[in-house]
Amino acid sequence: MSMDILNKPLWMLTVGEFLKLMNQATTPIEKNVPKEKKLAYGIAGIAQLFNCSMTTANRIKASGKIDEAISQHGRIIVIDTDLALELMKK
């Protein structure tokens, strides 16, 4: 990008110069956006994630296959859905 574009007032830019500035400004921001974690909660969340019954969801949890994706504190169960799906593929 040339320095003359940076020193111009915004209202003096051509359409091409403005689009060039917008393209350069938005590209790095989009690349640095962190991926949001998708979470499911409880046995019902496991059942919904794997499209199975509550009984089967209890079996999946008890099997230990997705233990790395599960965080549990007391009765509260939180599942990282992306990690759980990856673990079940193995």
In the prediction, which pLDDT does 55 show?
97
pLDDT in tens, the chain (90 residues): 567 777 888 888 888 888 888 887 765 555 666 778 899 999 999 999 999 999 999 999 999 999 999 999 999 999 999 999 999 998
Query: What's the full length of the chain, in residues?
Result: 90
Q: Are residues 26 and 46 in the same domain?
A: no
In the prediction, which pLDDT does 27 show?
56
Buried b (16+ CB within 10 A) or exposed e, 58-90: eebbeeeebeebbeeeeeebebbbeebeebeee
For residue 71, the cross-strand partners are 78
User: What is the token pair recorded at 55?
Assistant: 């009984």
Domain that holds residue 4: 1-33
Say how many domains are in the chain.
Answer: 2
Q: CA 35, CA 14: separation in Å to the nearest integer?
A: 35
Q: Are residues 29 and 46 in the same domain?
A: no
- State whether residue 88 is helix, strand or coil: helix
Q: Are residues 85 and 43 in the same domain?
A: yes
